[in-house]
């Protein structure tokens, strides 16, 4: 992988040859590509640390992307943002990071559940750990890594990420957001999120968005309004499908997602079905099933831990938050997955 002076991907080896001969130290930000929290995190790091390349990942290619990041010549400081660890990936993750931290600074910033033991291991490798489950990653970056003279729009960007992660009621996020018109905040946050969901497979768009957010609000960035309109239309088309096809079993409701991401469908399901504890949506990706779980206020189980436990038992991986989590499992084990969630929820007063 090769970047030009603008730190964008290139395939040209000639450009690369010119670049290595005059090697500069670079920062690399590996961030989550699936929602505003990851994208905004990358924008904040790129603004605050000049000479930063961005690599975007999701949970299916996190380890490959991490290998790619640590292989970059002249890497000085690696930031890993908004990528939670799970039982299935953390061993390999630790090994790569351990090796890397001998050669460069590594900063891991995240707000997903992380075992104390894992935190200790990361610190033991010399990783700078910024971990807190009470605010989203963008807010953690804003609060811990950026200096106070930063233009206020960067605080607002972190606030958009918090809105979509449903962490806008938290202390720092709410303090930032109360200075702005609520509808403006929700509008900008939502079109940003929809544009990201609509362009998950267009890396070029997502990387341009990381750059665009450094200068402009979401509505002013090329393609954001149009993409968000397309995504809103997909949601509209899916409302009746979800109403008619969801299956309910006591405290659980579940459905297979077709053209929308599992995460969006799980949110829609939870909102439509009152009185349930957990909504599950799953979507096929190759020979895997991507699963999203959402919990209502009646759900007392930690869904991130639950997804991690069940998925690892089925040969997959999973994790996330208390009331919103995800997993990736072999596609044929989806029925077992749902049954295991059901057993946990229905049989244990959870």
Q: How many CA atoms lie within 13 A of 176 on its CB side?
A: 26
168 binds Mn ion, rule: CB under 5 A? no
Lateral strand order in the sheet of 317-320 = 247-249, 252-256, 278-285, 288-295, 324-330, 317-320
Least distance CB 21 / Mn ion (angstroms): 39
Least distance in angstroms from the C-beta of 23 to Mn ion: 33
How are beta strands 288-295 and 278-285 bridged, if at all? antiparallel
139 versus 289: smaller Cβ distance to Mn ion = 139
> Distance between CA 90 and CA 117 in Å, rounded?
12
Binding-residue pattern over the window 82 to 101 for Mn ion, x denoting contact by CB under 5 A: x-------------------
Would you say 34 or 75 has its CB closer to Mn ion? 34
Closest distance to Mn ion from the beta carbon of 171 (Å): 16
Residues 199-238 that bind Mn ion (CB under 5 A): none
Number of chain residues interacting with Mn ion (CB under 5 A)? 5
37 in contact with Mn ion (CB under 5 A): yes
Question: In sequence order, what E strands does the chain have?
Answer: 2-3, 9-10, 26-32, 52-57, 75-81, 105-110, 128-131, 247-249, 252-256, 278-285, 288-295, 317-320, 324-330
Tell whether residue 165 is a contact of Mn ion (CB under 5 A). yes
Of residues 37 and 188, the one with the C-beta less far from Mn ion: 37
Residue 295 DSSP symbol:
E
Min CB(168)–Mn ion separation in Å: 12
For the chain, give the number of residues: 350
| Short-list 111, 202, 211, CA closest to 165 | 111
334, 345 contact by CB (below 8 A): no
- Smallest distance, Mn ion to C-beta of residue 13, A: 36
Q: Which is nearer to Mn ion, 3 or 318 (CB)?
A: 318
CA angle, 298 then 266 then 253, to 5°: 60
- Least distance to Mn ion, CB of residue 127, Å: 19
List CB contacts of 212: < 8 A, sequence separation 6 or more: 221, 222, 224
Tell me the window of 45-53, 164-172, 189-197, 319-327 that interacts with Mn ion (CB under 5 A). Answer: 164-172
Distance between CA 256 and CA 247 in Å, rounded?
10
Residue 272 to residues 25, 26, 238: CA-CA distances in angstroms? 51, 47, 12
Q: Which residues pair with 278 in a beta bridge?
A: 252, 295
Q: Which is nearer to Mn ion, 173 or 207 (CB)?
A: 173
Q: Considering beta carbons, is residue 113 or 277 the nearer one to Mn ion?
A: 113
In sequence order, the β-bridge partners of residue 31 are 56, 81
The residue with its CB nearest to Mn ion is 37
* Cβ atoms within 10 Å, residue 304: 26
Only one of the segments 37-45, 186-194, 252-260, 308-316 lies at the binding site for Mn ion (rule: CB under 5 A); that segment is 37-45
Task: State which of positions 121-140 bind Mn ion (CB under 5 A).
Answer: 136-137
Q: Minimum CB separation from Mn ion for residue 25, in Å? A: 28
User: Closer to Mn ion at the Cβ: 35 or 188?
Assistant: 35
Q: Among residues 113 and 273, whose Cβ is nearest to Mn ion?
A: 113
**Part in contact with Mn ion (CB under 5 A); list of ranges 35-43, 72-80, 89-97, 183-191:** 35-43
Stretch that binds Mn ion, among 34-42, 186-194, 232-240, 338-346 (CB under 5 A): 34-42
Instruction: Compare residues 101 and 137 and give the one whose CB is closer to Mn ion.
Output: 137
Interface characters, 280-319, with Mn ion (x: CB under 5 A): ----------------------------------------
Residues that bind Mn ion (CB under 5 A): 37, 82, 136-137, 165
């Amino acid at each position: 992988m090769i970047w030009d002076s603008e730190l964008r991907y290139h395939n040209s080896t000639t450009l690369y040859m010119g670049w290595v001969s005059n090697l500069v130290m670079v920062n690399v930000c590996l961030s989550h590509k699936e929602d505003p929290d990851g994208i905004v995190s990358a924008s904040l790091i790129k603004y605050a640390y000049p000479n930063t390349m961005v690599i975007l990942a999701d949970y299916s290619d996190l380890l490959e992307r991490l290998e790619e990041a640590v292989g970059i010549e002249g890497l000085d400081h690696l930031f890993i943002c908004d990528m939670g660890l799970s039982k299935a990936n953390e061993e390999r993750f630790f090994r790569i990071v351990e090796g890397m931290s001998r050669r460069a600074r590594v900063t891991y910033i995240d707000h997903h559940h992380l075992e104390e033991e894992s935190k200790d291991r990361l610190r033991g490798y010399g990783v700078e750990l910024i971990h807190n489950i009470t605010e989203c990653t963008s807010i953690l970056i804003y609060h811990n890594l950026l200096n106070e003279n930063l233009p206020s729009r960067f605080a607002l960007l972190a606030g958009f990420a918090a809105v979509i992660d449903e962490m806008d009621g938290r202390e720092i996020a709410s303090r930032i957001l109360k200075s702005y018109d609520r509808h403006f905040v929700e509008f900008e946050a939502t079109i940003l999120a929809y544009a990201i969901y609509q362009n998950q497979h267009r890396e070029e768009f997502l990387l341009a968005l990381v750059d665009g957010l450094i200068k402009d609000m979401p509505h002013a960035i090329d393609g954001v309004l149009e993409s968000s309109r397309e995504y809103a239309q997909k949601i509209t088309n899916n409302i009746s499908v979800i109403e008619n096809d969801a299956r309910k079993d006591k405290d659980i409701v579940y459905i297979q997602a077709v053209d929308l991401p599992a995460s969006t469908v799980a949110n829609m399901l939870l909102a439509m079905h009152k009185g349930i504890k957990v909504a599950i949506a799953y979507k096929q990706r190759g020979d895997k099933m991507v699963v999203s779980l959402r919990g209502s206020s009646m759900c007392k189980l930690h869904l991130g831990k639950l997804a991690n436990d069940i998925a690892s038992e089925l040969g997959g991986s999973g994790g996330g938050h208390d009331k919103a989590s995800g997993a990736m499992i072999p596609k044929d084990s989806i029925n077992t997955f749902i049954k295991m969630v059901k057993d946990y929820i229905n049989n244990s007063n959870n």
